[in-house]
Amino acid sequence: MRVYNFSAGPAVLPEEVLKEAADEMMDYRGTGMSVMEMSHRSKAYDEIIKDAEKDLRDLMNIPDNYKVLFLQGGASQFFAEVPMNMMKNKKAAYIITGQWAKKAWQEAKIYGEAIDVASSADKTFSYIPDCSDLAIPEDADYVYICENNTIYGTKFWQLPNTKGKDLVSDVSSCFLSEPVDVSKYAVIYGGVQKNVGPAGVVIAIIREDLITDDVLPGTPTMLKWKTQADNDSLYNTPPCYGIYICGKVFKWIKKMGGLEAMKAHNEKKAKILYDFLDSSKLFKATVRPEDRSLMNVPFVTGNEELDAKFVKEAKAAGLENLKGHRSVGGMRASIYNAMPIEGVEALVAFMKKFEEENS
């Protein structure tokens, strides 16, 4: 029996995708082998990776002057790739809206001057700071954001005013959750294990002019974007199986109606949960209403023992992984694309029952 899985990542995937992958496990379309067992240089695999890129380009309407790279190392390795490939002046502006932004900022400091131009640390990252007029240095190479803050449940609903500088965005936990205008960014990237596929793949969408040989001295061959771009993400063995599953998820999203439909689906789910939280006497959402994420919804009762009891009883009721991140406590429901509306309804019904029994 499958549970409703509210994990922040690795996270729920569409059942249709899992079933299809299961059907193709022993014999992928007459090749007599699984995708895990085939050469990444084979004709069958070439089709898989090319199709995946094409479907992603269709979904996100990616302009021709952007490359799509399928990489490894997690979003965390990309924290270093950004300065290695982009810090020509050795200076960048970081907006600190949570742990992932902070980690990226700390990583960038290894390579140059990374300036924290705004932060919401003063209120436990429960809001997005005003980014309309930041002190961005004239010679900054880029401005960096974490667009959806997985741990704290905030989302940039308006991109920062970068004063003409290139914008780099970590979208790990909001990838493909809604339409985006790719042309507003220099780099969009994310680990796929939150909303798109299995762990082990990072997708990066990079404006072509940023892909050059002019990288910081000492940049490893593998971490140089040009190496990956020149070889269509096949410089070495890519995370083949993970890319294959991502490709299936892209097709699933297309079938569901694309990113507009995903956004409507996600808004509907989030509204059910936030409306309940805002009306509840026991549970409270922790994020300022205008900055709330559609993907990650943290909430608390205000009583740690009661929080623990809730998580335990929810698990027994088939609602799994509702414990908040270890750094913040409380609860967090991650309601990514593949979480059905029934899952959110079941969660709210359970919360109502718990509230009645515990107040």
- Known catalytic residue at 194: yes
Taking the complex as a whole, the smallest distance from the CB of residue 349 to ligand PLP amounts, in Å, to 28
Characterize the bridge pairing of strands 284-285 and 202-207.
unpaired
- Point out the catalytic residue in the list 170, 248, 251, 252: 170
Taking the complex as a whole, the smallest distance from the CB of residue 11 to ligand PLP amounts, in Å, to 10
Taking the complex as a whole, the smallest distance from the CB of residue 75 to ligand PLP amounts, in Å, to 3
Nearer to ligand PLP, 194 or 323 (CB): 194
CA gap 174, 181 in Å, rounded: 14
Taking the complex as a whole, the smallest distance from the CB of residue 194 to ligand PLP amounts, in Å, to 5
Nearer to ligand PLP, 194 or 248 (CB): 194
Cα maximum dimension of the chain: 63
Taking the complex as a whole, the smallest distance from the CB of residue 106 to ligand PLP amounts, in Å, to 13
Nearer to ligand PLP, 143 or 351 (CB): 143
- The residues that touch ligand PLP, with contacts defined as CB under 6 A, are 9, 74-76, 100, 146, 150, 170, 172-173, 191, 194
- Known catalytic residue at 46: no
Taking the complex as a whole, the smallest distance from the CB of residue 333 to ligand PLP amounts, in Å, to 15
* Reduced 3-state DSSP string for the chain: CCCEECCCCCCCCCHHHHHHHHHCCCCCCCCCCCHHHCCCCCHHHHHHHHHHHHHHHHHHCCCCCEEEEEECCHHHHHHHHHHHHHCCCCEEEEEECCHHHHHHHHHHCCCCEEEEEEECHHHCCCCCCCCCCCCCCCCCCCEEEECEECCCCEECCCCCCCCCCCEEEECCCCCCCCCCCHHHCCEEEEECCCCCCCCCCEEEEEEHHHCCCCCCCCCCHHHCHHHHHHCCCCCCCCCHHHHHHHHHHHHHHHHHCHHHHHHHHHHHHHHHHHHHHHHCCCCEECCCHHHECCCEEEEECCCHHHHHHHHHHHHHCCEECCECCCCCCCEEEECCCCCCHHHHHHHHHHHHHHHHHCC
345 phi and psi angles, rounded to 5 deg: -65, -40
- Known catalytic residue at 170: yes
Nearer to ligand PLP, 166 or 170 (CB): 170
Q: Which residue is nearest to ligand PLP (CB)?
A: 74
Nearer to ligand PLP, 9 or 112 (CB): 9
Count CB neighbours of 191 within 10 A.
28
- Point out the catalytic residue in the list 67, 100, 224, 323: 100
Nearer to ligand PLP, 38 or 205 (CB): 205
- Point out the catalytic residue in the list 91, 194, 248, 269: 194
Taking the complex as a whole, the smallest distance from the CB of residue 212 to ligand PLP amounts, in Å, to 25
Geometric angle at alpha carbon 261, from 257 and 263, rounded to 5° = 145
- Residue length, the chain? 359
Active site residues: 100, 170, 194
